[in-house]
């Protein structure tokens, strides 16, 4: 039995402890730190005695059956739902409680990591305390809020995919007054991802004929519950008629976008000598020019967000 305990998952260990508590009396208040190795856990002496005497899959203890976890089923993935507005995914798990007592799942917290790239995507928590009825299968809901880093990871490393495999790690579970931490990974395949940071929206252009520059204004929406800092922006400016590269644009000044709101940012573009030559040769009599803003790349909170397509700006005055 010691061997099976040592290889058992956090839920198995938890149930054994709860079962022992039911039979032998409360051991609540004991915070158990379970690190995928029962020998590293601070084990109450009563439980240690049972582990040492074990061998059978269940033990008769003062007339009560002691559940050893061998019949345990891990929580099963049922389904998940995406909330685009809240930038979150809710994961529904079912759990068969093999014990004769109700369990009160008070909290769960965990990290959610991309399985393929070991990239931290966000943090998961139990939506509300949940009663897991004795000898019944109950459902519980865990919500995971994506970080901006996660959204960027989806759009760069999982472009075109509708879901990613994730590992839920560093799980902390609080049940019936007992807290257990685990370093185990819990794998969930093909979790849906449909949320992306919206590309900046073009607002307006303001040519300054004196300095031969154009100020181009964009609007950036921050869907997150914390402020974002736009640190740098780069883009190429091309002739909208023939694609001739006119020069580069960059961020005028850093901008803070408050939580759950939008802000404008400006990029500045100076006409190059090549651009002036292009105007005089290819657009000799034109008073204005269509331009394309190509490869707009925004650095926000040190994460790179790339606009998926170019922006067409008609009739920029040439002066
Ligand atoms: Zn990934
Ligand atoms: Zn041109």
Q: Is the pLDDT score of 1 beyond 80?
A: no
Taking the centre of ligand 2 as the mean of its atom positions, its distance from the CA of residue 211, in whole angstroms, is 21
Distance from the CA of 236 to the center of ligand 2, in angstroms? 14
Check residues 144 and 98 and name the one with the higher pLDDT.
144
Print burial letters for 81-103: b (CB count within 10 Å at least 16), e (below 16): ebeeeebbbbbebebebbeeeeb
Regarding whether 217 and 113 lie in a shared domain, the answer is no
Residue at a domain's end among 138, 167, 192: 192
Tens of pLDDT, residue by residue over 21-58, are 555 544 444 444 444 444 444 455 545 554 444 433 34
Give the ligand at the shortest distance from the Cα of 113: 1
CATH of residue 74: 2.60.40.10
Dist. CA 112 → ligand 2 center (Å): 49
State the Rg of the chain over Cα: 29
Last residue in a domain, options 192, 212, 227: 192
User: What pairing do the DSSP bridges indicate for beta strands 32-33 and 255-257?
Assistant: unpaired
Do 243 and 162 fall into the same domain?
no
Model confidence at 312: pLDDT above 80: yes
CB 1 within 8 A of CB 13: no
Which residues, chain by chain, have CB under 5 Å from ion ligand 2? 239, 241-242, 244, 282
Q: Which ranges of the chain would DSSP assign to H, the alpha helix?
A: 2-6, 10-24, 45-53, 148-157, 273-282
Same-domain status, 82 and 135: yes
CA 108 to each of CA 28, 87, 88, 142, 210: distance values in angstroms, whole numbers, following the listed order: 17, 20, 16, 8, 61
Mean pLDDT of 192-200: 70
Asked whether residue 14 falls in the same domain as residue 156, the answer is: yes
Mean pLDDT within 87-102: 80
State whether 49 and 177 are in the same domain: yes
Nearest to 15 by CA among 169, 129, 171, 178: 178
* 171 Cα: distance to centroid of ligand 1 (angstroms): 20
Q: What is the CA(172)–ligand 1 centre distance, in A? A: 23
Which pLDDT does position 58 carry in this prediction?
Answer: 42
Cα 240 to middle of ligand 2, angstroms: 7
Please give the model's pTM, rounded to 2 decimal places.
Answer: 0.53
CA 197 to ligand 1 centroid distance, Å: 16
Co-location of 49 and 76 in the same domain = yes
Rounded Cα gap, residues 103 and 134, in angstroms: 7
Of the pLDDT bands very low, low, confident and very high (cuts 50, 70, 90), residue 69 is very low
Cα of 233 from ligand 1 centre, angstroms: 25
> Do 188 and 218 have their domain in common?
no
- Identify the pLDDT of residue 79: 81
What is the Cα–Cα distance from 11 to 15, expressed in whole angstroms?
6
By the 10 Å C-beta count (0-12 exposed, 13-18 middle, 19+ buried), 124 is classed as buried
Q: What is the mean pLDDT of residues 290-300?
A: 91
Tokens (6 digits) for 81: 């739902």
Express each pLDDT in 229-239 by its tens digit: 999 999 999 99
Closest listed ligand to the CA of 151? 1
Residue 188 and residue 210 share a domain: no
Question: Distance from the CA of 170 to the center of ligand 1, in angstroms?
Answer: 18
**Average of per-residue pLDDT across 288-299:** 91
The model's pLDDT over 105-123, given as tens digits with 9 standing for 90+, comes to 888 888 999 999 999 988 8
Residue showing tokens 């033990």: 59
Q: Which residue has the tokens 């008073």?
A: 287
Strand ranges (DSSP E) for 115-177?
119-126, 130-132, 137-146, 163-175
Residue 131 pLDDT > 80, yes or no?
A: yes
Gap from CA of 160 to ligand 1 centroid (Å): 12
Q: What ligand is nearest to the CA atom of residue 154?
A: 1
Nearest ligand to the C-alpha atom of residue 290: 2
Q: How far is the CA of 22 from the centre of ligand 2 (A)?
A: 81
**SS3 helix, strand, coil % of the chain, rounded to 5?**
15, 50, 35
Residues 25 and 165 occupy one common structural domain:
yes
Q: Which residue has the higher pLDDT, 12 or 198?
A: 198
* Percent of residues, the chain, with pLDDT higher than 70: 71
pLDDT band, residue 3 (cuts 50/70/90)? very low
Same domain, 211 and 260: yes
Question: 58 — phi, psi (to 5°)?
Answer: -145, 150
Ligand 2 center–CA 274 separation, angstroms: 11
Q: Please compute the mean of the pLDDT values over residues 293-318 and round it to a whole number.
A: 84
Closest CA to 124 of 188, 180, 31: 188
The domain of 105 spans 2-192
Note the pLDDT of residue 35: 41
Which of 152, 173, 192 finishes a domain?
192
At 238 the three-state DSSP class reads: strand
Are residues 243 and 185 located together in one domain of the fold?
no
* Cα of 239 from ligand 2 centre, angstroms: 5
Looking at the fold, whether 133 and 158 belong to one and the same domain comes out as yes
Q: Is 51 helix (H, G, I), strand (E, B) or coil?
A: helix
How many domains would you assign to the chain? 2
SS3 199: coil
The residue ranking higher by pLDDT, 146 or 61, is 146
65 φ/ψ angles, rounded to the nearest 5 degrees: -85, 130
- Is the confidence at residue 209, as pLDDT, over 90? no
CA of 314 from ligand 1 middle (Å) equals 38
């Amino acid at each position: 039995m010691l061997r099976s305990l040592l290889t058992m998952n956090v839920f198995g260990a938890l149930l054994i402890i709860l079962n022992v508590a039911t039979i032998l009396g409360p051991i609540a208040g004991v915070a158990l730190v379970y690190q995928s190795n029962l020998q590293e856990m601070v084990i109450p002496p009563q439980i240690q005695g049972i582990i040492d005497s074990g061998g059978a899959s269940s033990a008769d203890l003062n007339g009560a059956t002691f559940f050893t976890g061998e019949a345990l089923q891990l929580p099963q993935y049922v389904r998940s739902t995406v909330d685009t507005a809240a930038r979150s995914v809710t994961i529904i798990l079912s759990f068969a409680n093999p014990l004769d007592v109700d369990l009160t799942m008070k909290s769960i917290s965990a990290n959610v990591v991309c399985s393929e790239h070991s990239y931290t995507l966000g943090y998961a928590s139990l939506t509300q305390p949940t009663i897991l009825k004795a000898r019944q299968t109950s459902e519980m809901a865990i919500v995971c809020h994506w970080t901006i880093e996660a959204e960027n990871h989806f759009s760069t490393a999982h472009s075109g995919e509708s879901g990613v495999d994730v590992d839920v790690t560093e799980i902390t579970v609080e049940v019936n007054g007992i807290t257990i931490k685990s370093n185990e990974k819990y794998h969930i395949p093909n979790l849906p991802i449909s949320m992306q940071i919206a590309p900046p929206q073009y607002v307006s252009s303001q040519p300054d004929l004196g300095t031969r520059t154009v100020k181009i204004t964009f609007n950036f929406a921050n869907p997150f519950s914390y402020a974002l800092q736009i640190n740098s922006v780069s883009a190429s400016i091309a002739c909208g008629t023939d694609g001739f590269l006119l020069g580069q644009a960059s961020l005028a000044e850093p901008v803070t976008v408050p939580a759950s709101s939008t802000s404008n940012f400006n990029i500045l573009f100076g006409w190059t000598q090549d651009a002036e030559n292009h105007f005089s040769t290819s657009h000799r009599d034109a008073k204005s020019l269509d331009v394309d803003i190509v490869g707009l790349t925004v650095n926000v909170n040190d994460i790179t967000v790339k606009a998926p397509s170019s922006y067409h700006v008609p009739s920029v005055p040439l002066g």
